[in-house]
Amino acid sequence: MNLIQKALAQGHHTLNEFASKQFLAAYGIPVSREALVRTEAEAVAAAERIGYPVALKACSARLPHKSEAGAVALHLEGPEAVRREMGRVARAVHVPLDGFLIQEMVAGQRELVAGLSRDPQFGPCVMLGLGGVMAEVFRDTAFRVAPFDRAEALDMIGELRSRALLGAFRGQAPADPQVLVRILLALGRIGLENDRIAEIDINPIIVTPSGAATAVDALIVLQEK
């Protein structure tokens, strides 16, 4: 049974972050290294494996807005911090959890958002936009209707007003356009192949100083037929 059918069978309307990213990764979208854990021992072991600093997040299909719920702890530098924050998050969150995510901290100041939505006239539409705290101020987004080709995906990146951010920027390497293109094409394919997916929100995609791009948080929203 695949991730979508499993979530629907359990009466969920979203995939949790871990499942969302597993799904996206299967389509070739680069996602942060992470592990789903249940106990403190598992958490510390995962953090050692991934390497400090790590992020810790409550993981639940019923928790689409994690930060607001106090369910996120960032930049944890060692096992004590992991244990402490795991306890704090467990007390702060009041929905049933699928576990905790231990996640690499992806370094980078350049943030993008990408997503999928469905338009009644056009069907699956892929969005790319400027991310980060200023995203809602600048509202810099570009859309394409799936399916579209590599040239359209590149044109979409060029359509962003803040595209200069993706060039060589303040000593950081240009964002690898091929990775961004791969993400955009994959989102289009997901939209065409999975009619149970209503919406995808990848926020943020972090562009690292070396120009790589990684999906650090993601949410897949499902729909009944």
Partner 1 sequence: MAPRDNPLEIIANPRHIAIFGASNSESAMGTGILRAILDFGFPGPVYPVHPREETVLELKAYPEVATIPEAADLAFIVLPTRIVAETLDACGRRGIRRAVIVSAGFNEVGGDGGTRQSELIEVAGRHGIRFIGPNCIGVFNARARLNATYMPFEGRPGYIGIASQSGSFLTQMFGYLEKRFGQSFSTGFSLGNEADIDLVDCLAYLGEDPQTRVIGLYIESIRRGRLFIETARAVARRKPIVAYYAGGSETGRRACLSHTGALAGPDRLYDGVLRQSGILRARSIPELFDFCQVLGGVPPANGSRAIIQTHSGGPGAAAADACGRGGIELPRLCPETLAKLAPFVAHTASCNNPIDLTFSKNPLDYFHAIPKILLEDPAADGLIVYVLAYARMVERGLAGLGVPPDQIPEQTRQVIADQCRALASLGPAFQKPVIGFSFLTRENPFVAGLQDLGMPVLAGPERAAAAFGALAQYRRLREKLLGAADADARPQEN
Binding site for partner 1 (CB under 8 A): 119-123, 125, 139, 141-145, 148-152, 155-156, 159
Residue 12 DSSP SS3: coil
Radius of gyration of the chain, Cα coordinates, nearest whole angstrom:
18
Q: Between β-strands 197-207 and 110-119, what pairing exists: parallel, antiparallel or unpaired?
A: antiparallel
Residue 49 or 139 with smaller CB distance to partner 1: 139
Residue 57 or 144 with smaller CB distance to partner 1: 144
Residue 156 or 206 with smaller CB distance to partner 1: 156
How near is the Cβ of 135 to partner 1 at its closest, in Å? Answer: 13
Residue 141 or 208 with smaller CB distance to partner 1: 141
How near is the Cβ of 120 to partner 1 at its closest, in Å? Answer: 7
Sequence-distant (6+) residues with CB within 8 A of 154 are 177, 181
How near is the Cβ of 126 to partner 1 at its closest, in Å? Answer: 9
Sequence-distant (6+) residues with CB within 8 A of 84 are none
How near is the Cβ of 196 to partner 1 at its closest, in Å? Answer: 20
